[in-house]
Structure 1
């Protein structure tokens, strides 16, 4: 045990806080970071990474479908390490490494000794979503460590008796709004928990409200962007709920179990019981079902609750340590179960299956990120072949039209390599970067409905199709490539027809 001297005398838990198992935790974190970087070039870009690369070239306080942090991380990584798939994934791998340390600290804060901290670190490092978000740069990549840090500071405020930790929690929550606004689920869930189960005296303290004010002040520029632009992310959320809400609701419960693997889910269930039995932190046990209910009602994605599952798992590791104390066989069995959980997660989450064999496995259906990371070089070369086949006069007046940000991002990424014309898309934020110039009389279009093209152009003919040799079914597979001429109206009036959120 160690006594932490940096806290004031009112911290009556200081002598109870276990020592931090920094060697073991740091080793897990470092190994995870190294493995993720080593595997980063395999398969290729995910469609979201191609989109972030485009958004990062035009920095803003916000975009119609997300806050600015992840696109800015993509921009910074490219500036520092080069315009490669490995470079853009450095922030993702680093986020995963930091997450491992934070989850171990969560276990420590809940009274977990070295064994609990190591279990928490290793279990989360080998969790499916940690590996997915650490391998590819997604909004989830930075979101999980931000949630873990906010929850850690909330725990310290509740358990250490030092209300100043609410300021740290508020600072992280405010900064987290620049990545995803989903941190509001944590705030709402925590507030509901404090009101329902206490300790309600916390709500009367000045530090909690000071932390809340700090969060609002830090989030204000991002919120002002939303207000000034008519709350585009609410419109985006509504579009997602309408598009895939029923599917997300049907898959919510099974995918809660698969987020970090079934063994981790069992440990997390044990952790929920531990939190519920401790009045000091019972509010956080309430936060999870509240966040889950709000996600189900709104038709949100199953991973919206991932941040709270991190806490449940850390708490479960503390209970596991106590259950296995003095019984080496129990601890060994838990470690073996988590190792099997990690092996299964790695096969599903990481690019371990050769691309040529991928379509014959269940991995593409289980892991959307793997599925949408295959075939991009072939896609770009196939569109480029259609552009090269245009007569010189048409090529000089051509633009590319892409129906989705992934396709637009790959064509933008390879424009210099293939000598492609500018690419435009009506998908999400990219619609604001149009319309094409009026001089653009020819369009090479991919992933845009022929009916829509027929309303804008007098002549559209299929000139090729996309496809990847591995036969992986994804959004860029088997798409017709159209060459369109004889535009019927100016681009400025036609362009709104191409706008869509998804």
Structure 2
């Protein structure tokens, strides 16, 4: 049985994790809600075992966080901040599994904390935030299984996987990649045990409520996934390699390459070769599926953990130590600049080409105010039968959050699970105010006598998705809402 060479550098690693948490907390209240967060707030009011586009865990956690800490950007991001801090600790623990010294564990934790991906997902309350922690935990347990050849780790793996599946199905990708890698390189003995089906049973039992929900609703997540691949697949494939480098940090590339070589070549880490091979296999799978480039990024953090010790061994001169220090400092600075709201909102266009999510936190209250002005153009006598219809879940979430203070009714929307919660009654046969990112003749063909009565501006000219959105007032629907609704439903 292989054993880690040294103990865990608990205090310094915890200090790094706490520092990251402090930075994220200090900046979490700037800008505003992200479009996904606004949707999660609405989903939290409709708690269920599943949704059209996701399992239930993230909406539940955001609902809990907002209930405890307040329905503000800072309040709903508390659990995300904690998850990112824990991710730093888990990566350091992974490095220890690869025989890293205490100093190397500290370096692994530091690289993780300053990486752009960890900062970016830690700033927002999103499925990716909790997915990253889940991937790192599963990776740690899988590495323990390979290192010790103790099949009992399969049960812990099943437990972690089951919980992860209640947040996002993507966790099956790295597990599949690791399984393929084990079949290629060994040790195959970890697969020849009854503990493996026991672990699978634990995972299936925990994931069952959401899987049953999906099955009884015709697997809408498959529809969403196929739509994303069809819509963005080509762009995702083109940008895959550049974003593997940029989203973690270009300055960390030598460290994760060193980690791959360490796992692949080191005689003492021969048992970990499938961990190295899992990353390129995962890249091939993501490219084939047309998935988003960040789907493969968590395994790069495992390679960073493996590269910490070789990097320290390389620091034999003052020049090399200076190079590492400068690289980490530049990583921290660029990561903060492009993933955290450190710039004034008026300067956000500088970072949007690299990280569009920054812009999606700006302008939601302005959208609501513009919508309220357009709503006032409906004669007061007709407003009780009128409908406010949002084209996407970000718009619907913003109008649900800020609209009541401006005299707006609860919005309807056909986007994702909102279509199941907000369908207007056939009795609402009055005017319809549409909020559209871009005007669409095929979309407006469901309504009568449509004319644009306003345009959304976010006040700082941020080039986000809602800047310039059209407010279109129609006299009504061509058919009753019950007949019109299927044509308005959108899965991506």
Which bin holds the TM-score, normalised by the shorter protein?
A: over 0.9
Q: 1:212 to 1:275 in 2, by over 3 A?
A: farther
Deviation, structure 1 residue 432: 1.7
SS in structure 1 of the partner of residue 471 of structure 2: strand
* Corresponding residue to 1:381 among 351, 357, 369: 369
1:246 is aligned, of 228, 234, 238, to 234
Output one character per residue of 1:243-288: Cα deviation in whole Å (capped at 9) or x when no partner. Answer: 0100000000000011210121221111111122232011111211
Pairs within 5 Å for 1:81-480:
81-277=69-265, 278-324=269-315, 327=317, 329-359=319-349, 361=350, 363-440=351-428, 441-447=430-436, 449-452=439-442, 454-480=444-470
SS state of the match for residue 120, structure 2?
helix
CA contact (8 A) 1:78 1:84 kept: yes
Contact 1:199–1:279 at 8 Å: present in 2 too? no
CA shift at 1:226, angstroms? 1.9
Cα 1:412–1:217 shift into 2, 3 Å? same
Change (3 A) 1:71 1:284: same
Please show how residues 37-52 of structure 1 align to structure 2 within 5 Å. Answer: 37-52=25-40
CA deviation after TM superposition for structure 1 residue 318, in Å: 2.2
1:24–1:423: structure 2 CA closer, same or farther, 3 Å change rule? same
State the alpha-carbon separation in 1 of the partners of residues 83 and 383 from structure 2: 43
Shift of 1:332: 4.0
> How far off its partner does 1:205 sit?
2.5
* Secondary structure of residue in 1 paired with 2:202: helix
Give CA-to-partner distance per residue, 1:78-108, whole Å, 9 cap, x none.
Answer: 1111111111111211111111111111111
Shift of 1:477: 0.7
What TM-score, normalized to structure 2? 0.96
Count of matched residue positions in the alignment of Structure 1 and Structure 2: 487
Contact 2:436/2:472, CA 8 A, preserved across alignment = no
Determine helix, strand or coil for the equivalent of 1:20: coil
- Tell me the distance in 1 between the aligned counterparts of 2:435 and 2:20: 38
Alpha-carbon separation, structure 2, partners of 1:368 and 1:432: 29
Deviates more, 1:417-426 or 1:433-442: 433-442
In 2, are the aligned partners of 1:135 and 1:350 still within 8 Å (CA)? yes
1:200-254 deviation digits (Å, cap 9, x = unpaired): 1111123333222222222222222222222211111110011010000000000
4+ residue stretches of structure 1 with deviation over 6 A? none
Judge conservation of contact 1:189–1:284 (CA < 8 Å) in 2: no
Aligned-residue offset at 1:162: 2.5
Task: Give 1:291 shift.
Answer: 1.1
2:92 and 2:305 in contact (8 A); partners too: yes
- Between stretches 415-424 and 254-263, larger displacement belongs to 415-424
Between 306-315 and 153-162, the greater mean CA deviation after superposition: 153-162
Deviations 1:332-377 (A, max 9, x none): 4323212211211111111111112223x2x011112102111111
Which residue is equivalent to 1:8? none
- Alignment partners' CA distance in 2, 1:251 and 1:415: 37
Report if the CA contact (8 A) 1:434-1:495 is conserved: no
Give the root-mean-square deviation of aligned CA atoms: 1.5
Aligned CA distance change for structure 1 residues 336 and 207 (closer, same or farther; 3 Å): farther
> Retained in 2: the 8 A contact 1:443–1:483?
yes
Tell me by how many angstroms 1:396 deviates: 2.0
Distance in 2 (CA, whole Å) between partners of 1:81 and 1:489 is: 44
Shift of 1:328: 5.5
Q: Secondary structure at the match of 1:445?
A: strand
Distance 1:155 1:328, change over 3 A: farther
Q: Separation in 2 of the partners of 1:57 and 1:218?
A: 23
1:61 to 49, 53, 56: 49
Using the TM superposition, give the Cα deviation of residue 456 of structure 1 relative to its aligned residue in structure 2, in angstroms: 2.5
8 Å CA contact retained: 2:66, 2:76: yes
